[in-house]
Amino acid sequence: MKAYFSKSLLLLTFAVTICCGLYPLVLWVIGQTVFPDQANGSLLRGRDGQPVGSRLIAQPFTKDEYFQPRPSAISYDASASGPSNLSASNYTLRARVASTLGPIVKYRGGAKAGQLVAPDVEAWFQQDTYKGAPHVVAQWADAHNSLAQAWVKADPTHAQYVTDWANQHADVVAQWVKDNPDTPKPEAADLAVVFFEHFSTDHPGAFPAAVTHEGGTAAIEPVREGTDIQATFFDMWRDEHPREDLAEVPSDLVMASGSGLDPHITLENAEYQLDRVAAAWAKDTSRDPAQVRGEIEAVLQTNATAPFGGAVGVRMINVLEVNLQLRNRYGEPA
């Protein structure tokens, strides 16, 4: 019995030493000497040497200066996967697609072929009429309560703006509480719809958005143009202009990815965003937009790759790599 026990203990010790010690150590040494970048997560670092992300994992970018990745159905969570399950008739999906297309989609045919739709969306919005009724912003908030609340929750400055408005309109808030007795102490998001209804009356043809002043200070103010308006109200504009011939867009520009491990977009997608990105960097750096556009186009072409050396598939770019190069080249966005 003792002999069997000692042999089993010896075999266990041998197995643990090999499988839990030597084998992982050999793999670690090979990884750190032959594939150090991959073994440490394929990290990308900024100019200060600090990691900004992995080239294997997608992450969101919202500033106009940056190329944007595919929309994510799982909020860019690398540990998850799954679909959004939203139908084409769901306004949440329509709003997401519209927010992407509004600032960058172009006319395909007619006298305005190749021109951006965005200026026409702004001009239509400023008229403040939708389907013959006034107050576009109020109609938007009334029809899409969840989106109005999402705007309030999207940024602390939005919530503070609504809170300040509520403090100045105690009578309106009191009436809202009377109509909604289950919410005696409403938060800013609870007041989203009534806020937008009054804002639309007080500021016809305008929408609350962040405005940056000299010195870098920003505040929420009524604006009559800009990407917020182009993105938010593109779908309503399209609803009133169904016959306008708009250019087709790359599918990965609007179709959500079900994986957080999806850091690439097609070169076609990047080139569709190029005008917006170049215009933003040109404004930040006070340089000629055409020259900046040419520089960024060269960055895209340099970074575009296809599987197996281009033998199959389409050319893709890694969004994080390209955006990091742009930041290193032009500095921090305004």
For 69-110, what is each residue's pLDDT tens digit? Answer: 999 888 888 888 888 787 878 888 888 898 889 988 999 988
How many residues belong to the chain?
334
Find where tokens 């929408």 sit.
Answer: 207
Q: What's the mean pLDDT in 5-22?
A: 85
Q: What is the mean pLDDT of the chain?
A: 90
Buried b (16+ CB within 10 A) or exposed e, 287-316: eeeeebbebbeebbeebbeeeeeeeeeebb
Q: What's the mean pLDDT in 295-321?
A: 91
- The domain limits of the chain are 35-81+256-330, 91-251
More confident residue, 101 or 312: 101
For 229-279, what is each residue's pLDDT tens digit? Answer: 999 999 999 999 999 999 999 999 988 888 888 899 999 999 999 998 999
d(CA 8, CA 262) in angstroms, rounded, equals 48
In this prediction, residue 8 carries a pLDDT of 84
pLDDT more than 70, % of the chain: 99
